[in-house]
Amino acid sequence: MAQREENQRMISLWHHCVFKLISEKEAKNGDSLLKSISAGAFA
């Protein structure tokens, strides 16, 4: 179970970093990129 929790923590951190990067680009590119990444990340 500890390994699974560690994996979840890494995934959460990765999602946070990706979301932050996309948020910075969003001002220029709109939110279509955010939607496509979110759909892929949570599928």
- Rounded average pLDDT over 1-10: 87
List pLDDT tens digits, range 6-37.
999 998 988 888 888 877 776 666 566 667 77
Residue 12: CB partners within 8 Å, gap ≥ 6?
A: none
Judged by phi (left if over 0) then psi (alpha if -120 to 50, else beta), residue 27 lies in: alpha
3-state secondary structure (DSSP) of residue 42: coil
Res 42: pLDDT: 62
The angle at the Cα of 10, spanning 8 to 11, to the nearest 5 degrees, equals 65
pTM for the whole thing?
0.44
